[in-house]
């Protein structure tokens, strides 16, 4: 495999993992917002009983995605196969 293709793959994997990390951080932000100020969020969404469970679900999924995105970025930059497989 030519070296240019491997370098391109490395940076494409890095960019994809940065997007996953950013999405996880956004989910964490929305989860914190809903957990801290549910009244402000109820103006947007009418489903009131689901908010308490939904806030913690958003936090858990956001933390998991940001962790996976961060480890993927490290794995792509260091060309570490175990980090990429994780």
Distance CA(4)–CA(19), nearest Å, equals 23
Whether 50 is covered by a domain: the verdict is yes
Count CB neighbours of 62 within 10 A: 20
Whether 64 is covered by a domain: the verdict is yes
Exposed, middle or buried: residue 49 (CB in 10 Å: 0-12, 13-18, 19+)?
Answer: exposed
Whether 15 is covered by a domain: the verdict is no
Total domains present in the chain: 1
Whether 11 is covered by a domain: the verdict is no
Whether 2 is covered by a domain: the verdict is no
Please tell me what DSSP assigns to residue 43. Answer: T
In which domain, by residue range, is 41 found?
Answer: 25-78
Whether 6 is covered by a domain: the verdict is no
Res 45: pLDDT: 63
The position carrying tokens 């370098």 is 7
Whether 62 is covered by a domain: the verdict is yes
Q: What is the mean pLDDT of each run of 10 residues along the chain (86 residues)?
A: 82 92 95 80 65 84 94 86 77
């Amino acid at each position: 495999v030519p070296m240019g293709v491997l370098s391109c793959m490395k940076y494409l994997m890095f960019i994809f993992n940065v997007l996953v990390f950013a999405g996880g951080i956004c989910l964490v932000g929305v989860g914190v917002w809903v957990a801290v100020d549910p009244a402000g969020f109820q103006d947007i969404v009418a489903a009131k009983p689901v908010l308490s469970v939904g806030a913690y679900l958003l936090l858990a999924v956001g933390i998991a995605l940001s962790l996976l995105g961060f480890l993927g970025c490290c794995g792509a930059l260091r060309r570490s196969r175990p980090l990429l497989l994780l």
